[in-house]
Amino acid sequence: MSEIHNVVIIGSGPAAHTAAVYAARAELSPVLYEGFMAGGIAAGGQLTTTTEVENYPGFPEGISGPELMDKMRAQSTRFGTKIITETIAKVDFSERPFKLWPEHKLDKDPILAKSVIISTGATAKTLDIPGKDNYWQRGISACAVCDGALPIFRDVPLAVIGGGDSAAEEATYLTKYGSTVYVVHRRDELRASAIMAKRLVENPKVEMVWNSVIESAGGDDKQIRNITVKNVNDGSSKTLDVGGLFFAIGHKPNTDPFVGQIDLDEEGYIKTVPGTARTNIEGVYAAGDVQDKKYRQAITAAGSGCMAALEAERWLSEQD
């Protein structure tokens, strides 16, 4: 019979590695499946696509996203976490021990686990426009709260794509830094809640670009310098000079392998008992952006990873 692991952690971001550190120090011998380009993103999650991280405690001069994740990974392995670079594609939580299958081993014997911590994160939605790949993290971002305070975005015009609460929140946040914030929305009214919409359109630093979609992004060798938007009513196009572009059109939680195995909300996020990392399956926990659609920050993900590991440790001790 295959070895039954105490804790299997699925994921590779701050939540996963924090859970791994706590579980390893509790001598649970955790195994972490970090994925191989899961969701099109390298191990380390969304932080690997971020240049400077200035809001993670302990790094007063800032740190690059990839370097931060390298340090977290090194800390996990230092305490004895076994890290496997495979993507978990299928699970069976119907009975214990839980069963998990890597993407390229679906016809092999499953991995067995007494408990599971899911921290697979979420992927920011973007638009595949010309120039996006050229200027990604060179003025183009999908997280204003993460990147908006960086020097390149200060005192220059910025653009936000979207019309929901996320777009309203991010655009309002960016008014602290940008000289003007253009909000490009394909309709003539926002989808955001009434109070958020009112606060946005009444902000003197916000300029609404109604009935419009983004067509392309342009710039120089250093960063984005402009975007082209098209009016959906008359087909006319115009160029806006901007020093930053932020997509705020939502996130997709990376929960495809767990559909039908665990309770998800209408958007696909894993449901957890408020104030805990517990799911509806006893022994299965969720941490980080896979269950958090409100904060979505590295530090909150790390905190929930700690919660998941402590709860798993406590639950496992009660099973003996």
- 147 catalytic? Reply is yes
Which pair of structure tokens corresponds to residue 49?
């696509």
Residue 229 host element (H or E): strand 224-231
Amino acid at 3: E
Mapped to the 3 state alphabet, what secondary structure does 41-107 carry? CCCCHHHHHCCEECCCCCCCCCEEHHHHHHHHHHHHHHCCCEEECCCEEEEECCCCCEEEEECCCCC
DSSP output for 149-181: TSGGGTTS-EEEE--SHHHHHHHHHHTTT-S-E
Max Cα distance, the chain (Å): 69
Residue 195 host element (H or E): helix 194-201
Those residues whose C-beta lies under 8 Å from the C-beta of residue 59, and which sit 6 or more positions away, are 53, 68
Q: For strands 140-141 and 251-253, give the pairing.
A: unpaired
C-beta separation of 247 from 142 below 8 A: yes
C-beta separation of 110 from 1 below 8 A: no
Q: Which of 70, 107, 133, 147 is catalytic?
A: 147
- 306 catalytic? Reply is no
C-beta separation of 161 from 240 below 8 A: no
C-beta separation of 214 from 127 below 8 A: yes
Q: Which of 143, 165, 289, 292 is catalytic?
A: 143
Q: Which of 92, 146, 165, 256 is catalytic?
A: 146
N- to C-terminal Cα separation, the chain: 20
- 107 catalytic? Reply is no
Q: For strands 251-253 and 52-53, give the pairing.
A: unpaired
Residues annotated catalytic, as ranges: 143, 146-147
